[in-house]
Amino acid sequence: MPYLSELKPGEQAIIIADEHLPVKAMELGLMKGSLIRLKKKNPKIGMALVEINGQSLALDYGLASQIEVSSNGKKENSPDSTDR
Amino acid sequence: MEKKKTLRIALIGNPNVGKTTVFNLLTGLHQQTGNYPGTTVVQKKGKIKVNGFTLELIDLPGTESLHPHSPDEQVSLKEIIRYPENIDGIFYIADVESLKKNLLLLTQIMDLGIPVIMILNKADKLKKKGIQIDMEELKKTLGIPVILYSSVKPEGNLIQKIKPYLKKLNKCKGRRIFSEINLKEELKKHFPAIDDKLLNYSLFLHYTEQVPCSLLEMTNHPGKEEKKQLLKKETVKRYIWINKVLKNFYTQNLSERKDFTGMADKILLHPVWGYLVFFFIMFLMFQSIYHLANLPMELIDHIFGELSNWLQHKLPSNKLTDLLINGVISGVAGVLIFVPQITLLFLFVLLMDKTGYMSRVVYLTDRWMRPFGMSGKSLVPLISGTACAVPAILSTRTIENSRQRLITLLTVPFTTCSARLPVYTIIIALVIPNKFLFGWIGLQGLTLFFLYTLGFAAALAFGALLHRFLPGQKTTPLLMLMPDYQWPSFKGLLIEWWDKVSAFIFGAGKIIVLFSIILWFLGTHGIKDDKILAYPVPLEDSYLGNFGKKIEPVFRPLGFDWKIDVAVLSSFAAREIFIGTLSTIYSVEDDSEKTIIEKLRTEIHPATGRPVFNLATGWAILIFYAFALQCMSTLAVIKQETGSWAYTLGIFLFMGLLAYISAMTVYQILK
Ligand SMILES: Nc1nc2c(ncn2[C@@H]2O[C@H](COP(=O)(O)OP(=O)(O)OP(=O)(O)O)[C@@H](O)[C@H]2O)c(=O)[nH]1
């Protein structure tokens, strides 16, 4: 399974594991089952920009490389789900 | 509660949803609001009268949930959990765009059984973002009143919309999902012996957040890992519920939204262009502070010169006239002359904040701040420190990592605050030629830019030093919401700008004028051989003169004469007093019609025969003020935020010593 940082900008995926994530990340919507879109990645700056729940979220690139996502990204308009 | 006449209402919500904007709208009190998430770091209060009720409103810092991650977020928890009796109800501010996330905190609040009225803000964005909300369904699902509103483009009076619910506030308690989402079961695992009725969300919060309560006497609080797992479970359970109900009232057609922000970010977050734009903005800011403000400053200086001259001719020549002209008027002029520059500085900082650009600066700089023991979030206090160190130090409360926060707040005093600006302006005008490099880069503006850069560089170097020696967890990965770019409303900008400028004029101004009067007295009165000398006493023999001469040897290696010494010492409480003091000293001594700059420029050192304000002394003064921590309020706020005298005195002595040694070195090289 790829990691969030391995997606190409514009690609969407579903988060499939959230064990490594801090509580704050989950409160912001980063959790297993969430649909996430990578908007921008800047490994040189050490940052990534993602879209979650219609909002932009900047996150540390190191953190983005720990978030496992599904390889088959959904289309833009698919509804978000946090099903377990 | 229905009969209660005063209702204490807390404004709560996630960061950046518009709480402060709504608070300003309701109370008319002019508070600071910002587009960088987490601007409200201290509580603000205001009172309004509605239909025979007095509403006491408290604007609390934004928080994602009732489990705080940073010191500012603790304020909301403390207010709600420790003193629930202090709050009669909550105005919950949410943002149409991030409604899903906003519901997390709302469900927590509703689980506590506190009456809530929800103000669903930023309604003006609905169309732009392709969002549709079924309001009736939303109200039905939550069981509380919901008011859809836009606080920047208001339609109708918000108070009128809230009014009908105040009488029955106690009934606005909303749906409790604590049992519905099996959080109760989770809590039961930790309290198997406790009666089911007592297992509620309040107990859950007391337990996880280590807030003492009688029920918890029989059990330990969870360990760090156990707490983390419990909070994660809670978050997931709440989001599952939110996802389930959200579909019933919220739809967003992403293809309809306009993404100006995404396009702008292509440049502003670019690894090369992004930094170039940032440095260009900074450069532009300091050049314009210097050059745009020049004309109005000269005008103010000229007007006060003319006024003093006119009064001198019209009023009888006596002590009172002297006090008025050389004590009061010179003091007032000393304040007003800097208003043009401070105006420009505040406008730039406000614009960066309000347009959403400040968050981009955090994004660009996080990585580069780490070697200095800080994070991208530290840059906001460091930049706002250019206005004033006191709010800047308070704004470090948004930094989650306590070590990064401590380093940031101890480095903020190195950044060039607006109080240093008057000193820099006058000294630069005196010793740096008004010439242009390549025809457009002003030398004086460049010097100012250098001094600001020096402040930042010193802050970073000091940060690196602390990073090496301080114990504690070194970093916390950055996680930050990025607001859309937006053009702030002109009125809002004006209100906030006036808040800050008036704080300078009436806050610092009062002290400067008072000091000016005291200095006039000390500079025109004196005592010799136990006899009080007749007024007016020559400056040399005045109290001020005698004191200055006594301490002259200490500052001689820096090239300061006794008049500069007096000005330096009197500015211990606040730096901006330095120029006011010089202005008063020279007005006392020389009551010709010359402006303050002319008076300083023509001052000759009796020992050397050279101008007192030459290149070497000028630079020594500039460097001294770049480093010395001469501000009582900053010291007080450092003590308050660190709770440590060791850090407070340590930073004061360190910066003082650094200022003295650097200024001496510069003087000795240039003289
Ligand atoms: N479009 C739009 N923008 C708004 C509205 N209300 C507030 N804003 C903007 O949202 C940003 C944040 O507003 P604040 O009032 O500082 O938000 P806050 O919730 O107090 O922020 P924190 O102090 O960070 O918790 C500012 O740029 C406001 O101009 C609104 O109704 N519509």
Instruction: Please name the helix (run of DSSP H) or strand (run of DSSP E) that holds residue B330, with its range, or none.
Output: helix B330-336
Q: How far is the CA of B495 from the centre of ligand 1 (A)?
A: 14
pLDDT for res B33: 44
The answer, yes or no, to whether residue B123 has pLDDT greater than 90, is: yes
pLDDT for res B590: 59
pLDDT for res B291: 74
Which of A15, A20, A26, A49 would best serve as a mutation to test chain B binding (most B beta carbons within 10 A)?
A: A26
Render pLDDT for B213-249 as a digit per residue (tens, 0 to 9). 766 665 667 777 888 888 999 999 999 999 999 999 9
Q: At A37, is the secondary structure helix, strand, or coil?
A: strand
pLDDT for res B587: 66
Q: How far is the CA of B306 from the centre of ligand 1 (A)?
A: 45
Indicate which atom in ligand 1 lies nearest the CA of residue B32: 16
The answer, yes or no, to whether residue B38 has pLDDT greater than 50, is: no
Indicate which atom in ligand 1 lies nearest the CA of residue B153: 31
According to the per-residue pLDDT averaged within each range, which of B24-33, B304-313, B332-341 is highest?
B304-313
Domain boundaries, chain B: 6-171, 507-670
Burial grade of B152 (CB within 10 A; 0-12, 13-18, 19 or more)? middle
> In angstroms, rounded to a whole number, what is the distance separating the alpha carbons of residues B470 and B450?
29
Which of B104, B131, B232 would best serve as a mutation to test chain A binding (most A beta carbons within 10 A)?
A: B232
Cα end-to-end span (Å), chain A? 18
Could you tell me the pLDDT band of residue A58, with boundaries at 50, 70 and 90?
Answer: very high
Please check whether residue A81 lies inside any domain of the structure.
no
pLDDT for res B283: 81
Question: Which of B33, B101, B120 is the best mutation target for the ligand 1 pocket, counting ligand atoms within 8 Å of the beta carbon and taking the most?
Answer: B33
Give the closest of A57, A79, A83 to B479, CB-based.
A57
**Torsion angle of the four alpha carbons B533, B535, B537, B539, in this order, in degrees rounded to the nearest 10:** 140
Could you tell me the pLDDT band of residue B594, with boundaries at 50, 70 and 90?
Answer: low
For B6-171, give the CATH class: alpha beta
Q: Which residue has the higher pLDDT, B339 or B378?
A: B378
Q: Is B264 on the interface with A (CB under 8 A)?
A: no
Could you tell me the pLDDT band of residue B323, with boundaries at 50, 70 and 90?
Answer: confident
Phi, psi (5° rounding) for residue B185?
Answer: -60, -40
Average pLDDT of the residues in B328-333 = 81
Overall number of domains in chain A: 1
Please check whether residue A53 lies inside any domain of the structure.
yes
> In angstroms, rounded to a whole number, what is the distance separating the alpha carbons of residues B75 and B394?
13
Average pLDDT of the residues in B499-522 = 76
Q: By mean pLDDT, which of A6-20, B369-383, B466-480 is the weakest?
A: B466-480
Could you tell me the pLDDT band of residue B92, with boundaries at 50, 70 and 90?
Answer: very high
pLDDT for res B506: 78
DSSP type of residue B37: S
Q: Report which residue type is found at B180.
A: E
CB < 8 Å to B67, chain A: 23, 27
CA-based nearest distance A83→chain B, Å: 7
Q: Which residue has the higher pLDDT, B216 or B418?
A: B418
The set of residues, in sequence order, having a beta carbon less than 8 Å from that of B179 and lying 6+ positions away, is none
Buried b (16+ CB within 10 A) or exposed e, A26-63: bbbbbbbbbbbbbbbbbeebbbbbbbbbbbbbbbbbeb
pLDDT for res B50: 85
> In angstroms, rounded to a whole number, what is the distance separating the alpha carbons of residues B390 and B456?
17
Q: How far is the CA of B19 from the centre of ligand 1 (A)?
A: 7
The answer, yes or no, to whether residue B270 has pLDDT greater than 80, is: yes
Q: At B169, is the secondary structure helix, strand, or coil?
A: helix
Judged by CB atoms closer than 8 Å, whether chains meet at B254 and A81 is answered as: no
Max Cα separation, chain A?
Answer: 35
pLDDT for res B268: 94
* DSSP line for B263-314: HHHHHHT-TTHHHHHHHHHHHHHHHHHHHHHHHHHHHHHHHHHHHHHHHHHH
The answer, yes or no, to whether residue A63 has pLDDT greater than 50, is: yes
Judged by CB atoms closer than 8 Å, whether chains meet at B254 and A55 is answered as: no
The first and second tokens of residue B647, run together, are 């850090």
Judged by CB atoms closer than 8 Å, whether chains meet at B481 and A60 is answered as: no
Q: How far is the CA of B366 from the centre of ligand 1 (A)?
A: 24
Could you tell me the pLDDT band of residue B659, with boundaries at 50, 70 and 90?
Answer: very high
For position A25, which CATH number holds? Answer: 2.30.30.90
The answer, yes or no, to whether residue B616 has pLDDT greater than 90, is: yes
Kindly state if the Cβ of B413 falls inside 6 Å of ligand 1. no
pLDDT for res B2: 47
Give the closest of B232, B243, B366 to A26, CB-based.
B232
Could you tell me the pLDDT band of residue A79, with boundaries at 50, 70 and 90?
Answer: very low
The first and second tokens of residue B556, run together, are 């001689």
Average pLDDT of the residues in B610-632 = 90
Please check whether residue A17 lies inside any domain of the structure.
yes
Give the closest of B69, B100, B484 to A53, CB-based.
B100
* Domain ranges, residue A64: 4-75
With a cut of 0.90, is the ipTM above it?
Answer: no
Residue from A54, A58, A52, A62 nearest A15 by CA: A52
pLDDT for res A81: 40
Average pLDDT of the residues in B168-180 = 88
Average pLDDT of the residues in B32-57 = 67
> In angstroms, rounded to a whole number, what is the distance separating the alpha carbons of residues B374 and B476?
10
Residue from B17, B148, B13 nearest B481 by CA: B17
Q: Is the pTM of this model over 0.80?
A: no
Residue from B397, B270, B477 nearest A30 by CA: B477
* DSSP line for B186-229: HHHHH-TTS-GGG--HHHHHHHHTT---GGGGGSPPP-HHHHHH
Query: Which residue carries 């500039």 as its tokens?
Result: B622
Instruction: Please name the helix (run of DSSP H) or strand (run of DSSP E) that holds residue B609, with its range, or none.
Output: none
Please check whether residue A83 lies inside any domain of the structure.
no
Kindly state if the Cβ of B15 falls inside 6 Å of ligand 1. yes
pLDDT for res B1: 46
pLDDT for res B233: 92
> In angstroms, rounded to a whole number, what is the distance separating the alpha carbons of residues B395 and B629?
19
The answer, yes or no, to whether residue B399 has pLDDT greater than 90, is: no
Question: In whole numbers, what is the pLDDT of chain B averaged over residues?
Answer: 84
Average pLDDT of the residues in A18-39 = 90
Give the closest of A40, A47, A82 to B366, CB-based.
A47
Q: Which residue has the higher pLDDT, B612 or B335?
A: B612
- Interface A–B counts its CB contacts (< 8 A) at 116
